[in-house]
Structure 1
Amino acid sequence: MTLRDYWQVVVRRRWLVLAGVVATLAAALIMVAAQTPVYEAEAQLLVRSLPGDSVFQAQSASAANAARLIETEIRVLEGAPVEDRVRENLGVVGDLPDASGSAIKDTDVVRIRVRSGNAETAARLADAYMQAYIDVKREQNVNSLLDASAEVQKKVSELQEQIDAIDDQIDAVPTGGGSDAVATLTAQRQRLVDQQSVFKQRLDQIQVDASLQSGNAQPVRPAEVPTGPVEPTPLRTGLLALVVGLLLGLGAAFLIDYLDDTLNSPEDLERTAGGLAVLSVIPDTSPPDSRPLALSEPDNSAVETYRRLRTGLQFIALERPLTTIQVTSALPGEGKTNTAANLALIFAQAGKRVILVDADLRRPRIHHVFGIQASPGLTNGVLGEPLAPLMHPIAVGESTLQVLASGTIPGNPSEMLGSSRMRAVLAELQASADVVIIDSAPVLPVTDSVVLAGLVDAVVLVTEAHHTSRRELASAIETLNRVGAPLVGLVLNRLEAKRSPYGYGYGYGKTYGAETTTPETTKKSVLFGLLRGSR
């Protein structure tokens, strides 16, 4: 398929695409309208990834681990201890909105975001989470220092006990004797005193650090009350729904078009027909009254498509005689009667002697189209009555169209249409007319048209756009070919004007003027039929 083919599918299924877009947009708008507004507040917190609360400890941590340390602190911020502290600080019982943390790139600053259905509550909670994190971290650090202080104090006490024991040993040495022993004990005592001095110094450092602890964090920017909700977002939701709806609509359109077996364009007709010419594409145009369009509004531009059909048949007539032309369709309701009536009128307007015969002996409609009596008619002529009195003259400008209605519907239409007497009636009609147009029953439901096809010079098969399926058309063509019917071409009926490859009036508006039939224009018309009919 080309891009043009894809575009034609979109145009053909435009209402389905539009329905998908509208349905998705409507669902999105309903969802937005039903959604409770959500506000988001943000506070910013500086987290020292390297030790910073000790005046004695060297800054020895590697900066390469700073990012990992920041991520660790974000997990602490989002953890249960901080949330419990927020609940304790605010005196809240029950669940709280969660806080989410994220690091600002290339800094030690952490964003704290909290969402709530109330703007003031969101801002208050963001600040509360920030303060709770600082409190929890301070307590954790102080507790760690206190534990360390207790361990150091225990070591100092142990050393003091050892010093006291050595002092007792020195006091126990007799006066004037054992000077070597005293010197050894004194040296041991000095080593213990030196060790104790180091631990006391460390204890003093820990006590100072504990008094300076701030949790290795401090506020950078408190939360501001948000001015608008972050959810719902009607514009973004609407745009997303538009895209999704368009994709769904297009997907459904292409799926249905793929599954659709009906004829939707002249190209579909040509591909299915296997080389048969598309003689004309007739637009979906309703006449102003119950009469055929070529009679009620002969200057309408849509009538030009019937002239194109006549021209195509005239071109074929250059190679072989075409006096009797049968118009049929695959199934009922595809517009064969209307096509036959308008074609007969177009031939009559060109000055031809034309007889229109209603040979659809199942559901005859020609008499309804022209407002005449259905009986007597064709069946009466087949039974032996003279044909001339059975004719109904229809004035067509300066010419006259003779219409032969169906007559009384027989019980055996197929046998009557295939009889020798029917052959004689057609011969008599051919002798008194230049063109005999025969409206016959559909091909697939009954055999009437197949029987009649052996008695005519040409068969024109009418199809209806968006109604006749490819399978039905192929079956009708196969049925006619099986009996050697002179099938000369196809007509695509009731195609929307926008899809017609020929347009209306060739760009000259609704009407262009009366048709002329000079030899020169006829020659040009036949040439035009060659170009169109041999597509």
Structure 2
Amino acid sequence: MTPYMERRLQLSSQNGVVQAFQFPGGEPADAAAPRRPSRSLWDIIVHRRWLIVAFTAAVVAAVALWSYTTTPIYEATTVLQIDPERPRAVAFTGIPSELAPQEDIRFNERVFEAYYNTQYERIRSRSLLARVEAALDLNHHPAFANAQPGPAGLESYINVSQVKRTRMVQITARVPDPALAAAIPNRIAKEYIRAAGQEGLEVSEFATRWLKSALASLHSRSEGSSGTPATVDPYAVAAAVGGDLLRTLKADLSHLEREVARARTVYGPQHPKMMELEADLAYAKDRLDNEVQSELTKRLKELELSAQVRVANIKVIDAAERPRTPVTPNHQRDLMLALAGGLVGGLALAFVLELGDTTLRSAREVDLITQLPSVGTVPAIRGFTRRMLAPLDDLQSLVRENQLRPERIAGEAFRSIRATVLKRGAETAPRTILVTSAQPSEGKSFIAVNLAAALAKTGHPVLLIDGDFHQPVCHHAFDLEFPKVGLSTVLARGDAPASVIVPTGVSNLSFLPTGPRPADPAALLSSERLSDLLNDLREQYRWVVIDSPPVLPASDAAVLAPIVDGVLLVTRAHATPVEAVWVARDRLELQGAKILGLVLNHVRLTRDRYFYANYG
């Protein structure tokens, strides 16, 4: 078992339980197990800034597209005052309830609410909206081309509401035409007021006919005509509209009629007492008839006068005016809300991704989570994409002192890796080094080429071997064509290594390319010839650096790992899942590989600013 496996699996002296590190997606096996270091809010924002910016830009762009392409909607409102009682023009005290003016109706809260709900429904009624639609010729208006035909279509464009704690009612129209937005609520108010006035006029006319009929019946009785019986009892009408005097006279008449009836049972027609009672009864009848006629005539004149000077209980307080700007879309408001919503959504998305991030992000996490030493942190270098290998000449020019800081740090990182590899002294320092990664596109070839160049700077001969038969790329660093001979021909045909090793243009650095791809790369690498080849190369070169395929997709690295002095495992910051590193580490150690450490590649200084911060 390697020292690193011994360090990961420690027997607790207290309870005899094996302590194993768990990634912070679940609980650690022991309370003392290391946890992934948390990041501050600002670090998360800096790390995910481009995601936040992209999400915000997408939201703003989508809202802007909607805002500038949607049909503008204009809104206008007419305000009415609807009183539940009409202002009094003439005092009425006795008209029946069905004919009484509304000032005599006492409104409690429930009746008040029911009254206004009734008015709202009358304003939205089909008959009223149909008159509005016909008056404005809405069926032929372009704004209503796609609307539902009939009053139901117009109803969807209007809203009727009450101003709280007032008798004000708002009629609002929202349509695509500004002129129509003002015309519709104004016309609705006009039709509603006219309908209410017509209804009041009909009530007044009915009451007038009712009183006139009562007067006609009274005249017929007084003249003693015997025709068709009157349909209206004048005395009943007088009792309904009259005051206390009429009720008193009617009571006196009833009393006299009872007295006369009793007297007839006692006295004869010519008896003085009987004659006196008959005279009193006739006088009472004449007085009642005169008073009924006077009261009915008075009420008729009052009703006719009130019809002429009647004051409506509905008034227009504010007529709708043509709106100058649409209520929707409001470009400034929409864009500001989109910006705020995009930022909030981007931050939320960044935090969600941060919680689900299972990649390695820093050298400290390499030590804590993988339990492998971090031998170097290589920053991302501008100008080289994820799949492009930096030519040595370009890299050497980038690491000059007058160049930008990330490139200077990259050169310093490779010197740090070199120092870590050579830290043990001449006899124990590894001389054959395998550079691999868990997955493709981690930057292992980039690390291998530049590590070899850094070792060559010591003045000792160094050989770089491209052992990746699947995707060989190291020859691009030296501007070489894909080789026809190389490692595969040396192992398969027994070609002399000296005949296929080529110079690189870098002092003390030679290069052995892959050569043609064999049918079974793992079987070729497992042959004894490779071990013999490495033993021969150790005598010629101080260090041999081998670039191998990734561990997980190919078995080549597992074959090469046991026959070299040490293995460098390369991971890409914020890209390599921790689980992949664990599997690659365990697979290498299972083969008896000696892992020198882990190189964290492509670290963005703007994200991980705690590396080399404010130094140099």
Give the structure 2 partner of residue 270 of structure 1. 366
* TM-score in terms of structure 2 length: 0.66
Give the structure 2 partner of residue 28 of structure 1. 66
Instruction: Measure the CA separation in 2 of the matches of 1:286 and 1:476.
Output: 30
Please give the secondary structure, in 1, of the residue aligned with 2:582.
Answer: helix
Q: Is the 8 A contact 2:431 2:544 kept in 1?
A: yes
Change over 3 Å in CA distance of 1:271–1:77 after alignment to 2: farther
Give the structure 1 partner of residue 45 of structure 2. 7
Please give the secondary structure, in 1, of the residue aligned with 2:551.
Answer: coil
Please give the secondary structure, in 1, of the residue aligned with 2:592.
Answer: coil
Q: Is the 8 A contact 2:360 2:577 kept in 1?
A: no
Change over 3 Å in CA distance of 1:321–1:206 after alignment to 2: same
Q: Is the 8 A contact 1:352 1:434 kept in 2?
A: yes
Matched, 1:474 2:474: no
Report the alpha carbon displacement of residue 145 of structure 1 after superposing the two structures with TM.
2.8
Q: Is the 8 A contact 1:329 1:461 kept in 2?
A: yes
Summarize the alignment of residues 22-171 of structure 1 with structure 2, pairs less than 5 Å apart.
Answer: 22-32=60-70, 35=71, 37-57=72-92, 65=109, 68=113, 69-70=115-116, 72-84=118-130, 86=132, 100-104=159-163, 106-156=165-215
Matched, 1:291 2:392: yes
Summarize the alignment of residues 335-346 of structure 1 with structure 2, pairs less than 5 Å apart.
Answer: 335-346=443-454
- Which segment is superposed worse, 270-279 or 430-439? 270-279
Give the structure 2 partner of residue 446 of structure 1. 554
Report the alpha carbon displacement of residue 478 of structure 1 after superposing the two structures with TM.
2.8
Matched, 1:230 2:289: no
1:380 corresponds, among 467, 482, 490, to 490
Report the alpha carbon displacement of residue 412 of structure 1 after superposing the two structures with TM.
4.9
- 1:286-336 deviation line (CA, Å, top 9, x unaligned): 479743654454424232232233244345779963332210123444322
Instruction: Measure the CA separation in 1 of the matches of 2:497 and 2:560.
Output: 19
Instruction: Measure the CA separation in 1 of the matches of 2:319 and 2:365.
Output: 73
Please give the secondary structure, in 2, of the residue aligned with 1:498.
Answer: coil
Report the alpha carbon displacement of residue 389 of structure 1 after superposing the two structures with TM.
6.4
Please give the secondary structure, in 2, of the residue aligned with 1:131.
Answer: helix
Q: Is the 8 A contact 1:282 1:491 kept in 2?
A: no
Summarize the alignment of residues 373-452 of structure 1 with structure 2, pairs less than 5 Å apart.
Answer: 375=485, 377=487, 380=490, 391-394=501-504, 396=506, 400-406=508-514, 411-452=519-560
- Which segment is superposed worse, 279-288 or 449-458? 279-288
Q: Is the 8 A contact 1:378 1:404 kept in 2?
A: no
Q: Is the 8 A contact 1:40 1:114 kept in 2?
A: yes
- 1:351-391 deviation line (CA, Å, top 9, x unaligned): 44433233334544444433566635586379777656665
Give the structure 1 partner of residue 34 of structure 2. none
Matched, 1:207 2:304: yes
Amino acid aligned to 1:203: L
Quote the RMSD (CA, aligned, Å): 4.5
Change over 3 Å in CA distance of 1:243–1:14 after alignment to 2: closer
Change over 3 Å in CA distance of 1:107–1:408 after alignment to 2: closer
Change over 3 Å in CA distance of 1:38–1:375 after alignment to 2: closer
Amino acid aligned to 2:600: L
- Which segment is superposed worse, 458-467 or 482-491? 458-467
Q: Is the 8 A contact 2:486 2:501 kept in 1?
A: no
Instruction: Measure the CA separation in 2 of the matches of 1:85 and 1:368.
Output: 84
Instruction: Measure the CA separation in 2 of the matches of 1:314 and 1:477.
Output: 22
- Which segment is superposed worse, 335-344 or 243-252? 243-252
Give the structure 1 partner of residue 100 of structure 2. none
Structure 1's unaligned 5+ residue stretches are 509-535
- 1:240-263 deviation line (CA, Å, top 9, x unaligned): 4445555666677777777887x4
Report the alpha carbon displacement of residue 67 of structure 1 after superposing the two structures with TM.
6.3
Matched, 1:487 2:592: no
Equivalenced residue count is 499
Report the alpha carbon displacement of residue 449 of structure 1 after superposing the two structures with TM.
1.3
Change over 3 Å in CA distance of 1:207–1:12 after alignment to 2: same
Instruction: Measure the CA separation in 1 of the matches of 2:607 and 2:522.
Output: 38
- 1:37-76 deviation line (CA, Å, top 9, x unaligned): 4444444433333331432048566576496355544443
Amino acid aligned to 2:125: G
Report the alpha carbon displacement of residue 454 of structure 1 after superposing the two structures with TM.
1.0
Instruction: Measure the CA separation in 2 of the matches of 1:318 and 1:150.
Output: 130
Instruction: Measure the CA separation in 2 of the matches of 1:340 and 1:370.
Output: 13
Instruction: Measure the CA separation in 1 of the matches of 2:123 and 2:589.
Output: 84
Amino acid aligned to 1:27: L
Report the alpha carbon displacement of residue 166 of structure 1 after superposing the two structures with TM.
12
Instruction: Measure the CA separation in 2 of the matches of 1:184 and 1:271.
Output: 126
Report the alpha carbon displacement of residue 7 of structure 1 after superposing the two structures with TM.
1.9
